[in-house]
Structure 1
Amino acid sequence: MKLHTSSFGEIEINEEGILTFPEGIPGFEDLKKYIIINNPDEENPFHWLQSVDNGDLAFVIINPFFIKPDYDIVIPQSALEKLKIKDESDVVLYSIVVVPEKIEDMTVNLTGPIVINIKEKLAKQVILEDKRYTTKHYIFKTEESRGE
């Protein structure tokens, strides 16, 4: 299947790789189908979550454990049920990255991970009530360098 995107031009996608977000992503509830475009540079941890429904929409994503190796969350039971998750090995997590003009101000949303049941191809952005994490966790700055 061919997909026209503003970021990648026309790309060929494997329909078997399409993820369904039954509820969409907050702010984009009408867009339900996405694919993950892996970075061709295997050493670069940033990838893209490209909307299949809207070629102009792509989120930069990253595995949250790359940024915070001790990232430890509990996925709510309601999300486990909606995503038909039966085994932990079927779960893949990503976090959405915000890329501002000044690259050193780049942040990642650790409060709202993208939870994917890779077996069922179902996904959801889960909003955690875990106060240890924020929606704007700096990737390149330490707390000391921000003056906190």
Structure 2
Amino acid sequence: MNDSTTVSELNLPATVTFPTGIPGFESLTAYRLTHSETEVGYVFRLRAEADAEVEFTLVDPRLYALNYVLELDDAEQAQLQADDPTEIMVLLMVWKDASAPAAQGLNANIGGPILINIEKGLGIQKLIDQPRFEFSDQPHAECSISN
């Protein structure tokens, strides 16, 4: 991507390993993390190292005043290996429906945020049956993660 750069200036890992893959893509565990800066914030991309056709677009949910309240179970904690909640970056997977009118905008998977341990380059997609959020009129409010 011409407008994407590596995330080194953000102090984020260039490669993220998903120990069990991303649901639907379990065999692909290593992804390159890049980003583009927009008027409203960063747009991140995860591209599978083993298959360049597999790429996910991610955004910070706080851009939409949406703050996840997450609890990690023991297996998720083991996969992420985070010692502190501030090590976890929460991202929202978004996509554009090619058949939808241009004015419709983006769709978001609010029930499956991507969690990345920015210290260790480990990630998971957390599947949530009933997401809990804290809404804020501050677009850059702190995320809360309980573990």
Q: TM > 0.5 between the two?
A: yes
Aligned residue among 50, 74, 82 for 1:85: 82
- SS class of match (2:110): coil
CA distance in 1, matches of 2:37, 2:108: 21
Contact kept in structure 2, 1:45 and 1:66, CA below 8 Å = no
Q: What is the deviation of 1:75? A: 2.9
**Structure 1 stretches of 4+ moved >4 Å:** 11-14
User: Which residue identity lines up with residue 68 of structure 2 in the other structure?
Assistant: Y
Equivalent residue for 1:96?
A: 93
Equivalent residue for 2:142?
A: none
- SS class of match (1:72): strand
In the alignment, structure 1 residue 128 sits paired with structure 2 residue 128: yes
Cα separation, partners in 2 of 1:75 and 1:129, compared to 1, 3 Å? farther
Cα separation, partners in 2 of 1:67 and 1:122, compared to 1, 3 Å? same
Identity of counterpart residues, as a percentage? Answer: 23
Contact kept in structure 1, 2:41 and 2:63, CA below 8 Å = no
User: Which residue identity lines up with residue 129 of structure 1 in the other structure?
Assistant: D
Q: TM-score, normalised by structure 2?
A: 0.71
Equivalent residue for 2:58?
A: 61
User: Which residue identity lines up with residue 121 of structure 1 in the other structure?
Assistant: G
Segments of structure 2 that go 5 or more residues without pairing to the other structure are 134-147
Structure having greater relative contact order (Cα 8 Å, sep ≥ 6): 2
Q: What is the deviation of 1:43? A: 3.6
Q: What is the deviation of 1:77? A: 3.4
CA distance in 2, matches of 1:94, 1:131: 14
Q: Render the CA deviation track for 1:63-83: whole Å, top value 9, x for unaligned.
A: 122224343232333211221
Equivalent residue for 2:114?
A: 114
CA distance in 1, matches of 2:37, 2:131: 35
Cα separation, partners in 2 of 1:42 and 1:34, compared to 1, 3 Å? farther
Cα separation, partners in 2 of 1:47 and 1:106, compared to 1, 3 Å? same
* Higher strand fraction (1 or 2): 2
Q: TM-score, normalised by structure 1?
A: 0.71
Q: What is the deviation of 1:106? A: 1.8
Q: What is the deviation of 1:120? A: 1.1
